[in-house]
Amino acid sequence: IQTILLKQRPVGTPALSDFEFVKENVELSLKDGEILLETTYISVDPYLRGRMNDAKSYVAPFELGKPISSGIIAQVAASKNEDFKKGEFVSGMLNWKTQQISDGEGLLKVDKDKAPLSAYLGVLGMTGLTAYLGLTQIGKPKKGETLIVSGAAGAVGSVVGQIGKILGLRVVGIAGTDEKVEMLTSRFGFDEAINYNTTTNMRSAIQEACPDGVDIYFDNVGGPISDAVLFNINKFARMIICGAISVYNNTEMPKSVSVQPFLVKNSALMQGFIVWNYADKFPEAMEHLSSWLTEGKLDYTETIVEGFENTPQAFLDLFEGKNKGKMVVKA
Binding site for ligand NDP (CB under 6 A): 45-47, 126-127, 130, 151, 153-157, 175-177, 180, 220-221, 225, 242-246, 273-275, 318-319, 321, 323, 327
Nearer to ligand NDP, 71 or 104 (CB): 71
Rounded to the nearest whole angstrom, what is the least distance from the CB of residue 190 to ligand NDP in the complex?
Answer: 13
Q: Which is nearer to ligand NDP, 29 or 57 (CB)?
A: 57
Helix (H) / strand (E) containing 161: helix 155-166
CB nearer to ligand NDP: give 29 or 198.
198
Taking the least distance from each CB to ligand NDP, the nearer of 110 and 275 is 275
Q: Please say which residue, 35 or 180, places its beta carbon nearer to ligand NDP.
A: 180
Q: How far is the CB of 46 from ligand NDP (least distance, A)?
A: 4
**Beta carbon of residue 237, minimum distance to ligand NDP (angstroms, whole number):** 19
Contact 243/156 with Cβ under 8 angstroms? yes
- Closer of 84 and 315 to ligand NDP (Cβ): 315
- Shortest reach from residue 325's CB to ligand NDP, in Å: 7
Q: Which of 242, 238, 53, 225 lies closest to 133, judged by CA? A: 242
- β-pairing, 69-79 vs 35-43, is antiparallel
> Counting every residue, how long is the chain?
331
Q: Which residues contact 242 (CB under 8 A, 6 or more apart)?
A: 130, 134, 156, 218, 219, 220, 273
Q: Of 22 and 279, which has the nearer Cβ to ligand NDP?
A: 279
- The minimum distance between CB 223 and ligand NDP, in angstroms, equals 6
Closest approach of ligand NDP to the CB of residue 49, in Å: 8
Cβ at position 249, least distance to ligand NDP in Å: 8
Q: Which long-range contacts (CB under 8 A, 24 or more apart) does 152-155 make?
A: 152/180, 152/184, 152/190, 152/193, 152/220, 153/177, 153/180, 153/181, 153/183, 153/184, 153/324, 153/325, 154/220, 154/323, 154/324, 154/325, 154/326, 155/122, 155/127, 155/302, 155/323, 155/325, 155/326, 155/327
Which residues, in sequence order, are CB contacts of 310 under 8 Å at separation 6+? 329
